[in-house]
């Protein structure tokens, strides 16, 4: 059994998510202790609980320590079967983080995996469903990943109630080499808000603020879709992404009470510009999420704007499960991350 210290480096839920996902894929049992030890409220939260339960169903695993607040679990995987799973994360628990756990083993299933998940689609400290749809999946498709993700209902913090459906086809990952950024071709975005914010033109104001910054930097007029959604509570946000001849990079910004719509749009645009201007091929959020996929492909290289704690953590966990070695090299204003088989 592989022992994983959940307090290592950034010590958050990502250690748990990656450990469980790679346990499913490799068939290696794992014990994760000191779960989220570096967080104000240590132990399993609802989204961690539901992620592990769903992963266990996916591969007929035996699990112990599965309760809210638990700081240690043991996960003994079986064979990844596939099929349909329905998951209710509860209130605004992050759908994006649940998908982080399940998307990795799903491609290794015997048959297609169909996911129906209820929870938060656009919540803090997690990838939005829009980011996964328009940035993560297109990049994974370059590696041979086949997944279709549909947003059925948007869910904001604190009430959630969002819904997605996703189908992932079995397949085999191939290596990726993203070191040349390529020429900017287009910028797209979705500026979204709850229906009760329509009178205040929140989606339009977010979009205009982002559009002004994007046009000034790239001389491209971004295509930003404005959406007002039926939701259980007020909320807003923006997903923004740039496509080049070789890659796609993205950013997300969320509204909150007292935060002006213009600031939401500016944040999304400024972060996107900053990531692109580093010369990197993927943004820092994809940088950590793609690490396990690179390892499962066996050999790959990407460039990222910076080496975050999440990237270091995912490299550490991934090297515990798979016979690979990651190497990091500073290249001008960004960093190359190379993965090779041992």
Would you write out the chain's pLDDT as a tens digit for each of its 342 residues? Answer: 999 999 998 778 899 999 999 999 999 999 999 998 878 888 998 889 999 999 999 999 999 999 999 999 999 999 999 999 999 998 889 999 999 999 999 999 999 999 999 999 999 999 999 999 999 999 999 999 999 999 999 999 999 999 999 999 999 999 999 999 999 999 999 999 999 999 999 999 999 999 999 999 999 999 999 999 999 999 999 999 999 999 999 999 999 999 999 999 999 999 999 999 999 999 999 999 999 999 999 899 999 999 999 999 999 999 999 999 999 999 989 999 999 998
Query: Is the backbone of residue 119 left (phi > 0), alpha (psi -120 to 50) or beta?
Result: left
Q: How far apart are CA 6 and CA 38, in angstroms?
A: 9
Are residues 72 and 31 in contact, defined by beta-carbon separation less than 8 angstroms? yes
Annotated catalytic residue within 48, 108, 134, 310: 310
Give the tokens for residue 274.
Answer: 């900053």
Q: What pLDDT is stored for residue 40 in this prediction?
A: 84
Q: What is the pTM of this model?
A: 0.95
Can you tell me the distance from the alpha carbon of 338 to that of 281, in angstroms, rounded to the nearest whole number? 13
Hey, where are the domains in the chain? 2-172, 184-277
CATH class of 184-277: alpha beta
Question: For the domain 2-172, what is the CATH code?
Answer: 3.65.10.20
Nearest to 196, CA basis, from 224, 229, 157 = 229
Catalytic status, residue 134: no
Please report where in the chains the tokens 């990237």 appear, as a residue: 311
């Amino acid at each position: 059994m592989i022992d994983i210290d959940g307090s290592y480096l950034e010590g958050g839920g990502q250690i748990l998510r990656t450990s469980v996902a790679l346990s499913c894929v490799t068939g290696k049992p794992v014990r994760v202790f000191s779960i989220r030890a570096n967080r104000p409220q240590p132990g399993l939260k609802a989204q961690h609980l539901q992620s592990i339960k769903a992963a266990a169903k996916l591969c007929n695993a035996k699990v112990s320590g599965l309760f809210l607040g638990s700081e240690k679990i043991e996960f003994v995987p079986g064979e990844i079967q596939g099929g349909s799973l329905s998951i209710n994360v509860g209130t605004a628990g992050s759908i994006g983080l649940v998908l982080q756990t399940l998307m990795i083993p799903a491609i290794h299933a015997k048959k297609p995996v169909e996911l129906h998940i209820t929870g938060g689609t656009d919540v803090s400290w997690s990838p939005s469903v829009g980011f996964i749809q328009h940035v993560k999946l297109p990049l994974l498709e370059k590696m041979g990943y086949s997944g279709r993700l549909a947003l059925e209902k948007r869910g904001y913090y604190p009430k959630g109630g969002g819904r997605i459906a996703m189908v992932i086809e079995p397949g085999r990952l191939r290596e990726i080499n993203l070191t040349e950024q390529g020429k900017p071709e287009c910028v797209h975005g979705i500026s979204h808000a709850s229906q009760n914010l329509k009178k205040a033109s929140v989606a339009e104001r977010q979009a205009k603020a982002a559009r002004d910054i994007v046009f000034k930097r790239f001389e491209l007029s971004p295509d930003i879709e404005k959406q007002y959604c039926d939701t259980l509570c007020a909320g807003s946000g923006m997903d923004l992404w740039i496509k080049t001849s070789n890659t796609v990079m993205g950013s997300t910004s969320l509204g909150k009470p007292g935060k002006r719509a213009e600031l939401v749009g500016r944040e999304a645009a400024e972060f996107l510009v900053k990531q692109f201007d580093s010369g990197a091929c993927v943004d820092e959020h994809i940088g950590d999420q793609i690490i396990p996929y690179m390892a499962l492909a066996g050999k790959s290289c990407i460039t990222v704007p910076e080496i975050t704690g999440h990237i270091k953590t995912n490299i550490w966990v991934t090297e515990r499960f798979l016979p690979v070695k990651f190497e990091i090299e500073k290249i001008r204003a960004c960093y190359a991350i190379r993965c090779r088989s041992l």
